[in-house]
Amino acid sequence: MKRSRFSEEQIIGILRQAEAGMRVVDLCRKHGISDATFYKWRPKYGGMDVSDAMRLRQLEEENARLRKMVAEQALDISILKDVLSKTSEARCSMFKRHTRPPSGGPVRHWVSTAALTIYRA
């Protein structure tokens, strides 16, 4: 996203000049902005102080940082679920293959070492 040529403090100053009674057309010509830009700034920054604008910037930065953290955690959860489903499928297929031991003994005593390593992982 393109950064503005003006800081929040400068934008608030321009809006204050308009509130003081300067015509919008003259103000836009003086600062080299379009009418549309002025009218876009007014709902966002109108009635703000410089301290409010600084606080808004801090909140936006914190919000971006938190969104990034949530996205990373969601990705981690997705990866873990994928790995868990693959290992559980491998466990199920390993035990389904060996449902009956060749000797006819109980199933719980006859488990291959490969199945145990998958099960313990």
Question: What is the pLDDT at residue 109?
Answer: 47
Closest to 6 measured CA to CA, from 43, 47, 52, 53: 53
What is d(CA 27, CA 30) in angstroms, rounded to the nearest whole number? 5
What is d(CA 20, CA 43) in angstroms, rounded to the nearest whole number? 17
pTM for this model (two decimals): 0.51
Could you tell me if 105 and 98 are in contact, meaning their C-beta atoms sit under 8 angstroms apart?
no
pLDDT in tens, 45-56: 888 888 888 898
pLDDT in tens, 59-95: 999 999 999 999 999 999 999 998 888 877 767 666 6
